[in-house]
Amino acid sequence: MEMREYNTRKDGFLVNANSYIKRFIRRTLDIFTFFTVLVRHPRITGAIFPSSNRLAREMVSHVFLKEGGLVVELGSGTGVVTEALIKAGIHPDNIIAIEYSASLAKKLRKRFPTIHVIEGDAADLELLLGDKKSQVTTVISGLPLRSLPKSTSEKILHQISSILPSGGRYIQFTYYFRQTILFSPTRIKPKYSKVIWRNLPPARVDVFEV
């Protein structure tokens, strides 16, 4: 009896160790891929390090999803927020990830084969979504709007405002802590804001609601 209990504990330890190793390897590969894209496209990446799980969980906690609704993630990157969406109980069929980088889009499809990954520019949001734009209830974004041309940022924000229904939400994180109307969508009111200090670097989550 004692031997059986010992083996159970040992097996549990090995399972936990293997799980930790797999997460460590995946995180290391994610960081490598992220920096590869950062070197090639510094302006569209906008960050110096992948988002933390804490930041992703905070963003996802504000998702508004009604029956049949879709969550659109802009700038999915290595999939930190995507994973948080799934862990929060959002069905993969209800997630659309839009990623500009071909290499990151390919990685997302491999890691999350059941979600809809679109390789494209968020400035063409309505075109990329097609008929599905009428089903969107939340847009969650990691796009570096401040490092993009102003006209591009305005185009993206205008389309976000256009597709969200009453009660719909736009969730954005930024490393810039001063509030400014220039990077806020029209027709949508600010609802919530919080700084996530345990992120590298610290980031602010802003939530807007129609």
Q: Summarize pLDDT for 59-112 with one digit per residue, the tens.
A: 999 999 888 899 999 999 889 999 999 999 999 999 999 999 998 999 999 999
Round to the nearest angstrom and report the end-to-end CA distance of the chain: 61
The pLDDT score that the predictor gives to residue 1 is: 46
DSSP assignment letter at 50: P
What are the residues whose beta carbons fall under 8 Å from the beta carbon of 66, sequence distance 6 or more? Answer: 137, 167
Residues 6+ apart with CB under 8 A from 52: 80, 196, 198, 199, 200
Determine the pLDDT at residue 183.
61
Q: Which residues contact 90 (CB under 8 A, 6 or more apart)?
A: 60, 63, 65, 71
Distance in angstroms (rounded) separating the CA atoms of residues 63 and 164: 13
Residues shown for the chain: 210
Looking at the domain 44-209, which fold is it?
Answer: Rossmann fold (3.40.50)
Give the residue extent of every domain in the chain: 44-209
Highest mean pLDDT among 113-117, 193-197, 199-203: 113-117
How far is the C-alpha of 26 from the C-alpha of 45, rounded, in Å?
A: 20
Residue 39 has pLDDT above 60, yes or no: no
In order of 74, 77, 150, 161, 174, the CA distances from 44 in angstroms are 12, 11, 13, 21, 14
